[in-house]
Chain A
Amino acid sequence: MLRIAIDIGGTFTDVVAQTSEGFTSAKVLTQPTQPEVGAMDGVQRLLKKLSKNVADISDVVHGTTLATNALIERRGAKTAFVTTAGFRDVLEMRYEKRFDQYALDIEFPEPIVPRLLRFGLDERILADGSVLKAPSIDDINNIAHALKQQNVEAVAIGFLHSYKNLSHEKLVAQRLSDLLDKQVTICLSAEVAGEIREYERFSTVCANAYVRPLMSRYLDKLLGQLNEQGFKGSFLMMLSDGALTTLENALRFPIRLVEGGPAGGVALAAQVATEIGSAKTLSLDVGGTTAKICFIENGTPKTARRFEIGRAWKGLKGSGLPVRVPTVELVEIGAGGGSIATVDALQRLRVGPQSASAVPGPAAYAQGGTDATLTDAHITLGNLDPEGFANGMIQLQPLLARNAVAEHIQAPLAFDTAESAASGIVELANETLANAARVHGIELGLDIASFDLLVSGGGGGLHGARIAEKLGIKRVLVPRNAGVGSAVGFLHSPVAFKSALSVLEPLSEIDSDQLAQRLTELENSVRSVVADAVPSEWIEVRVNAELRYQGQGLELSFELSPDAGFSEALVHLENKFRNRYQEIYGFVLENIAVELVALSVNAKDTRTPTSSPTFIPNTVRLCPKNTRSIHNVQTGDSGEYRVVPRDAVGCQVMVGPIVIPEAQTTTLVPSGWSVVGSTHGHLIMSRTNA
């Protein structure tokens, strides 16, 4: 077995090889114009280390943020949009709502398709799916002519109510593909995101068309190079919802690749949770500019069907590009190592969302940054060792960190020492992260205190214990391989595919035969996507129904049992909904119809993903008698922490205060906490003072 995972991010490309002996990894710089070159470079390095050839590779699993970056930087194809006549501005009108009530200077992102490439076609389907006006061939021909003149590379088609009846979209797509150059990409809104709400569906299909030519060229090259060198294995891509899919399907819906990288991180968290036996896990990844939160139950991450790309206005919700794709439900918070601490007009201390990013970076990097960042606060407190930071790639200057904290925070707020100002910064970051988790947990109706906190990313280990205390959490998990976590996560992900169907009819009025037929069609198409990579006996198909009281926004999801007949299942659903609603809100609403909002279908490979090899704990190794002085955020005093290398943490419980430095991260085990190594080599911290 030789499986290779490739994760191409904005800055680094991580390549991980999995053999029967375990994982080996390589990190190379991403080459934005030729990402396949960096990827192949990484693969070759690993193969050399393992003395293997490309021909020995059994699987390649790939995730990338190229599509996301192309959307954010507007580097996609010249794309046209064909829509219902009279509605070409829907794409630009968005929600017709300001995302910040008080800021008079906000701007919306430019639409992906400019107005002069948006064409109205005289056609109309009504809310019930019936046809008011069929498109005329002449009109389609005229549009085709204009598209040719404009030399567009991609065409998105989106008509009103196509989620109910996609015949017009199909007809126009067929005709255009006959008339246009074969190279031109054509995408249908009902196929890319077949759900109600025209703006979000149109936005999704345009984004899909916009990135498809670029993704297809890139993947052709990568696969071409692999094949040239004798690659004979399978090639799968990581989707935003943590599932793997075939290359062919990824190329139909490249917009579904956008959150593939972060989904890999979540997949690893889910795998680690399973290995440790954590049934309820809150995953927190603290990176350089932001932190990401995801809830995982029984090894399954929470997922959503909507995502916003590139929140361009101060990271505010609503300022990005919405896409309707299945995605792991990540909450992103503007608080990472590079987040800048400031004092605002109200003399309040704030951390983020502005970030010093990698350039100029925190003040301590001595690359010209002067702002006080969260990383500078950690250095001032002694949490980070200036020696050997990031494998020695960056030489930290503690004095610059301290000066930045003193100038920007200590002086204006009259803290008596730079350390107390720095502990204020760290405490506020802890609070911001804890609060985001708290709010998200409540939205999902979860009792956070019953979860374990799994921390990853460069800053996870520094914040884990304190955030856990704030949330009433008693166990903190720090996985191995955190540095190349997403790529390892790809190797733990199953092949799967999801799609949804908008219904929006009261349960009592549904034509169950007709709906059953639509559902069967959807089930078949979703199953066939998975069947390209998975033998049919391993495929499991699940259907979920989303219900609400008609007129209300709150949707509750229930699994449709596979055994009962469809119309019977619908009857059960109504009771289940009314009962669950009562549980949550304490009352029922009589005489209000229960509406079926949507059915979603998920087909999945049921084979368990491969598990990490068992790690033999090494308790024999002696810990060097080494201590470091660290300022305590809560007491305000400094204390001596024992420095323990990661490899030295074994199955024997060690009691804090301990600091565990590694190449990519540092873990703090304060007093009141203990730490032990799990059989898979992960760290488990437990509260002894709770």
Chain B
Amino acid sequence: MNHSKDTVVNNVLWNRLISVCEEQANALLRTAFGAIVREAGDLSAGVFNSRGEMLAQAVTGTPGHVNTMAASVSAILNILPADTLVPGDVLVTNDPWIGAGHVFDFVVVSPAFFNGKIVGYLASTSHIVDVGGLGWSAEGRTVYEEGVTIPVMHLRRGDKLNEDLLSVVTANSRVPHEARGDILSLLTSNDTGIDRLVDLMREYTLATLDGISDFIFSRSAAATRTALEKVPAGTYQNSLQLDGYDAAIELQATMEIGGGLVSVDLAGSSAALERGINCPLNYTAAYAAFGIRALLTPDIPNNHASLAAVRITAPPNLIVSAERPAAVSARHVVGQALPDLVLGCLEKALPGKVIAESSGALWTIALSGAGPSKFTSLNVALGGMGARSNSDGLSTTAFPSGVGAVPVEAAEIAAPLIYHSKEFVADSGGAGQFRGGLSQQIVIGSRIDEDISLSAAAFERLNAGPAGRQGGKAGAAGYVAISDGTTITDKGTYVIPRGETLILRTPGGGGFGDPKKRKKEAVTHDVSHGLISEESADKNYLLVNEESTNETI
């Protein structure tokens, strides 16, 4: 009787812990500055036990934050140990190797005291608009050029805010007030989380979180193990080429599956570069684990135990395991390619069950005024998702990132820009029995007839499109140009002269399965809706009948 009653109580507690984090994340979302953070949800929140192990996280978080944060808390506590902390203390860092992989992301950790003892921790991460240095750019040679790094330290000591630290950040930031506001909102969202956690413990007369920790971890570990044991044991390899900064880079993975564990070693990947697309291992691990978990254990919540079953390693100083002082601003270019890399290994273990490659790294559109008017505008251009084993890929949808695009009207209100068009690109989805998701073309110019500066740091997959699977074709490669004839081929900085426009065409998703097996109605539908051309229908698919409707416009 007691056992089953505990089960119900523990169920309830687990759900309640998740809503503690949700509430924490919502508070953050509302108070974050910058449309990109708000629209994108580029943040995360989680609750940890007294050993610094993650118990639950908000569903809203993006994988790069959530999975890095799971490791951040214990790393931070190694530097400022629990026994030195007093109620009210709050710790902070934006160290890329401890936090979320670049200096923009601040991790704030607050101990939760209950009856005079630390019972757990609340942590949250979000993207701060500007912390100095080069700003949003891949042109840094070292992390020192990328902005100010705050080592692990107190953001609040007891009830006293560390104004010295905040003044260092504001002195370095191009948008000091917003930066200060964002850091403070991380702190208050944790405070909210602590209040809820303590309420919860009172309500259920819990002295510690040990019992619920054991319950969550044992259930998660067992379910993860069961799911992983269904995958044939063995060693699986895959490699993937990216454009790199200005020369191709190679990502290589060797995956071992067996005994309810998945380990991936990334030896053989290219060496770290003197440019800001390097990825620290913590961020690499976050996205690689995400890809594996999304395919194999999508229903098991993220926590210490479910993440422990997936191990990611790499020899030091590769592009996936860059060490200080490597430049890491645009680390997501490499990081967000890792799900495709590990899914390619899994395709060998589970042929025919794995989503085709997707457009990968978020294309950050980082524009700023290069004329008399100063402004900065951040948005993202999203490509197609890979086709699934039983359905078409989603068009213009971020994957693996969880963010969305800023509406055109909001972007144009925030900066003197004109979006001239934003439309699907026909034939960009890889052909297949299931078609890859379509990409889009976006054309942007100045509203005030002035030069615009562009960072091309995140325009990836310009050389080759995402690969298909099981006979499906690759999606279209991306394309970026300026209307004066300049084609963008590296990740440097460009100027869009007044009167000219920027043309962005994102990559399309890979196709799945032999295109000849695609249902005729599906091909006819795609042609009549202008999603594929008649030529592509002729070339890739079984011939369409004459009566297919012509596109109207």
The chain A residues found within 8 Å of chain B, CB to CB, are: 85-90, 92-93, 95-98, 101-108, 114-117, 119-120, 124, 126-127, 132, 146, 150, 160-161, 163, 196-199, 344-349, 413-416, 420-421, 423-424, 427-428, 431-432, 435, 438-439, 442-443, 504, 549, 551-554, 585-587, 589-592, 636
Contact of B405 with A116 in the complex, beta carbons under 8 Å: no
Whether the pair B178, A592 counts as a contact (CB closer than 8 A) is yes
B102 interface contact, C-beta 8 A: no
Name which residue of chain B comes closest to A95, CB basis.
B404
Evaluate contact between A119 and B30: CB separation under 8 angstroms. no
Distance in angstroms between the alpha carbons of A132 and B420 in the assembled complex = 11
Contact of B396 (CB < 8 Å), options: A93, A197, A549: A93
Known: A92-B395, A93-B440; 20 extra A-B contacts, CB below 8 A, are: A85-B421, A86-B423, A89-B423, A89-B440, A98-B398, A98-B399, A102-B299, A103-B294, A104-B298, A126-B447, A132-B418, A196-B407, A348-B219, A414-B4, A424-B8, A432-B15, A439-B22, A552-B181, A553-B31, A585-B184
Which residues of chain B are near A416, meaning CB under 8 Å?
Answer: 1, 4
Which segment of B472-480, B490-498, B525-533 sits at the interface?
B525-533
Per-residue CB contact flags for chain B residues 383-409 toward chain A (1 = under 8 Å, else 0) read 000001011001111110011110111
Contact A196 B552 (CB under 8 A): no
Given A95-B404, A161-B412, A146-B219 contact (CB < 8 Å): no
Show 20 A/B contacts (Cβ-Cβ < 8 Å), sorted by A: A93-B440, A98-B398, A104-B295, A104-B355, A105-B391, A116-B530, A117-B552, A160-B409, A346-B299, A346-B300, A348-B219, A414-B4, A420-B5, A424-B8, A435-B15, A435-B16, A443-B23, A552-B31, A553-B32, A589-B177
* Smallest Cβ-Cβ distance to B306: which chain A residue: A346
Report if B382 contacts A (CB, 8 A). yes
- B23's contact among A103, A126, A442, by CB below 8 Å, is which? A442
- Does A585 lie within 8 Å of B31, measured CB to CB? yes
Measured CB to CB, the nearest residue on chain B to A101 is B402
Distance to closest chain A CB from B80 (angstroms): 24
Chain A hits for B31, CB < 8 A: 552-554, 585
Q: Are B227 and A345 in contact (CB under 8 A)?
A: yes
The one of B5, B226, B443 that contacts A636, using a Cβ cutoff of 8 Å: B5
Contact B552 A116 (CB under 8 A): yes
Residues of B with C-beta under 8 A to A549 = 33, 181
Over the window 50-64 of chain B, the binary record of Cβ atoms lying under 8 Å from chain A Cβ atoms (1 yes, 0 no) is 000000000101110
Contact A424 B294 (CB under 8 A): no
When C-beta atoms are compared, the residue in chain A nearest to B531 turns out to be A115
Q: Which residues of B contact A431 (CB under 8 A)?
A: 11-12, 15-16
Across the interface, A127 reaches (CB within 8 A) one of B181, B219, B412, B552, namely: B412
Residue B14, interface by CB 8 Å:
yes
User: Are the C-beta atoms of B382 and A96 separated by less than 8 Å?
Assistant: yes
Count residues of chain B with CB under 8 A from any CB of chain A. Answer: 85
B308 to chain A, nearest CB (A): 15
Chain A's closest residue to B161 (CB) is A587
Chain A residues with CB under 8 Å of B355's CB are 104
> What's the nearest-Cβ distance from chain B to residue A132, in Å?
7
Least Cβ distance of B264 to chain A in Å? 18
Query: B195 → chain A, closest Cβ, in Å?
Result: 10
User: Is B247 close to A, CB under 8 A?
Assistant: no
A344 contacts B7, CB within 8 Å?
Answer: no
- Closest A residue to B413 by beta carbon equals A127
What's the minimum C-beta distance from B395 to chain A, rounded to whole angstroms?
A: 7
B19 → A minimal CB distance (Å): 5
Known: A97-B402, A116-B530. A414 touches B3 (CB 8 A): yes
- Asked if B553 lies at the interface with its beta carbon under 8 angstroms from chain A, I say yes
Task: Point out the residues of chain A lying under 8 angstroms from B190, CB to CB.
Answer: none
Q: Is B517 an interface residue (CB 8 A)?
A: no
Question: Given that A96-B397, A345-B300, A443-B26 are contacting pairs, would A420 and B4 also be in contact in the complex, using a CB cutoff of 8 Å?
Answer: yes
Chain B 349-406 interface residues, beta-carbon cutoff 8 Å to A: 355, 382, 388, 390-391, 394-399, 402-405
- In the complex, which residues of chain B have a beta carbon less than 8 angstroms from the beta carbon of A95? 39, 404-405
Judged by a CB distance under 8 angstroms, whether B38 is at the interface is yes
Q: Name the A residues within 8 Å of B222 (CB-CB).
A: 346-347
Given contacts A86-B422, A114-B529, A424-B7, is CB(A347)–CB(B180) below 8 Å? Answer: no
| Cβ contact within 8 Å between B420 and A86 | yes
B88 within 8 A of A: no
Given A97-B403, A636-B1, A413-B530 contact (CB < 8 Å) = no
B30:A553 contact, CB within 8 angstroms: yes
B422-A89 in contact (CB<8A): yes
Query: Once the chains are docked, how many angstroms separate the CA of A167 from the CA of B506?
Result: 34
Interface residue? B272 (CB, 8 A)? no
Given A105-B388, A116-B530, are A150 and B23 also a contact pair (CB < 8 Å)? no
User: Could you tell me if A119 and B26 are in contact, using CB atoms closer than 8 angstroms?
Assistant: no
**B188 contacts A585, C-beta separation under 8 Å:** yes
Interface residues of B (CB under 8 A from A): 1, 3-5, 7-8, 11-12, 14-16, 19, 22-23, 26, 29-35, 38-39, 59, 61-63, 177-178, 180-181, 184-185, 188, 219-220, 222-223, 226-227, 293-295, 298-300, 355, 382, 388, 390-391, 394-399, 402-405, 407-410, 412-413, 418, 420-424, 440, 443, 447, 528-531, 549, 551-553
Most B C-beta atoms less than 10 A away, residue of A103, A196, A552: A552
A419 nearest CB across to chain B (Å): 11
Complex CA distance for A96 and B191, rounded to whole angstroms: 32
CB-based contact A435/B19 at 8 Å: yes
Most buried by B among A87, A163, A348, A587: A348
Q: Which 10 A-B pairs have the closest CB atoms?
A: A86-B421, A97-B404, A554-B30, A102-B298, A127-B412, A551-B33, A115-B529, A95-B404, A415-B4, A424-B8
CA gap between A520 and B412 in the complex, in Å: 27
Cβ A344 vs Cβ B299 within 8 A: yes
Closest residue of B by beta carbon distance from A504? B413
Pick from A104, A107, A349: contact of B7, CB under 8 Å: A349
User: Which residues of the partner chain A approach B551 to less than 8 Å between Cβ atoms?
Assistant: 116
From B178, which residue of chain A is reached at the shortest CB distance? A551
Enumerate chain B residues within 8 angstroms of A590, measured Cβ to Cβ: 177
The reply to whether A552 and B30 form a contact with Cβ atoms under 8 Å apart is yes
The distance from the CB of B91 to the nearest CB of chain A, in whole angstroms, is 19
The closest CB in chain A to the CB of B302 belongs to A102
Q: Which residues of the other chain, A, contact B33 by a CB distance below 8 angstroms?
A: 549, 551-552
The answer to whether B294 touches A196 (Cβ under 8 A) is: no
A58 to B5, CA, bound (A): 57
A349 to B59, CA, bound (A): 20
**Given A115-B531, A439-B19, A586-B188: A428 and B11 interface contact (C-beta under 8 Å):** yes
* Contact of A98 with B5 in the complex, beta carbons under 8 Å: no
Chain B: which residue is nearest A117 at the CB level?
A: B552
Cα A294 to Cα B455 in complex, Å, equals 47
Query: Across the interface, which residues of B come within 8 angstroms of A420, CB to CB?
Result: 1, 4-5
**Residue of B whose beta carbon sits closest to that of A162:** B409
Shortest beta-carbon distance from B5 to chain A in Å:
7
Among B19, B219, B404, B447, the one with the most A-chain Cβ atoms within 10 Å of its Cβ is B404
What separation, in Å, do the CA atoms of A127 and B375 have in the docked complex? 16
List chain A residues, Cβ under 8 A from B418: 124, 126, 132
Known: A105-B391, A146-B552. A196 touches B409 (CB 8 A): yes
Chain B: which residue is nearest A416 at the CB level? B1
With known contacts A97-B404, A104-B294, A116-B528, A553–B398 Cβ distance under 8 A: no
- A427 to B11 alpha-carbon distance, docked (Å): 10
Residues of A within 8 A of B423 (CB): 86-89
Question: Do the beta carbons of B407 and A102 come within 8 Å of each other?
Answer: no
Q: Which of A119, A132, A198, A348 is within 8 Å of B408, CB to CB?
A: A198
Measured in the bound complex, the distance between the Cα atoms of B410 and A590 in whole Å is 24
Q: Complex Cα distance A477/B14, Å?
A: 30
Residue in A106, A127, A428, A504 whose Cβ sees the most chain B Cβ within 10 Å: A127
Determine the chain A residues whose CB is within 8 A of the CB of B382 once the complex forms. Answer: 96
Q: How far is the CA of A344 from the CA of B223 in the complex (A)?
A: 10
Contact between B552 and A150 (Cβ–Cβ < 8 Å)?
Answer: yes
Q: Which of these, B19, B188, B404, contacts A96 with CB under 8 Å? A: B404
Residue numbers in B under 8 Å from A435 (CB-CB): 15-16, 19
Cβ–Cβ contact B421 & A87, under 8 A: yes
